[in-house]
Amino acid sequence: MSPAEKNKTTVRLVFFGAAGVGKTALIRRFLQDNFEPKHKRTVEELHSIEHDLDGTKMRIEIMDTSGSYSFPAMRQLCIRQSDAFALVYSINDPESFEEVHRLREEILELKGSKLAPITVVGNKADLGNQRRVPAKESMTIVELDWSASFVEASAKSGLNVAGVFEELLRQVNFPSSLSAALRGRRGTVPKDGVLVRKKPLIKKADSCTVS
């Protein structure tokens, strides 16, 4: 880890995915521990969490993006200035998984790296009886072909929502004690039956910190 990474006190996580896959719902479940079943279109929202870790203020910025991608220049700037990416699809929508493919290619191109910190999130795991994206197939693609991390979660039930954020922070080498503190904020999140696959830590080049 470089000195710049050791002293890094702000990290930006961005959630991408097709409209209606539950990006906002995942973030809302994590931050507020509630669920709004009615879909509302998101333009762009930035959330911030501060945590005191051994006297150092650590800040996590969470960017919630629109699934319509009306402003490609803004999306490209967001990619360049962010540290880790959650690419979200719905397990009952194969087209949303295809969108994850496209988004990953764009991120790798703009970041200039084949090992960008990416976690692919199969949301709506509570709809198992409506599944149209096989878990093993998508996990194999993500892990073996992309060398990325794979998580299945449910914003509705809270299943593994905290795990999504823990994995994103792990990928950017954020302090593990902070990750544990975040888990404590959502201690009621169930852990059973969760598909989480972790890849080795990615050593990053200097990343952008956005004030």
Q: What is the pTM of this model?
A: 0.81
Domain for residue 159, yes or no?
yes
Domain for residue 211, yes or no?
no
Number of domains in the chain: 1
For 65, the domain range is 3-197
Domain for residue 81, yes or no?
yes
Q: What is the pLDDT of residue 58?
A: 84
191 vs 91, which has greater pLDDT? 91
Domain for residue 107, yes or no?
yes
Task: Give 33-73 pLDDT, tens digit per residue.
Answer: 999 887 777 668 899 988 777 778 889 999 999 877 667 88
Q: What is the pLDDT of residue 56?
A: 80
Q: What is the CATH number of the domain that holds 45?
A: 3.40.50.300
Domain for residue 203, yes or no?
no
Domain for residue 158, yes or no?
yes
Q: What is the pLDDT of residue 69?
A: 63
- Pairing of the two strands 196-197 and 10-17: unpaired
Is the pLDDT at 10 greater than 70? The verdict is yes
Domain for residue 207, yes or no?
no
* Average pLDDT across the chain, whole number: 81
191 vs 173, which has greater pLDDT? 173
Q: What is the pLDDT of residue 29?
A: 94
Domain for residue 37, yes or no?
yes
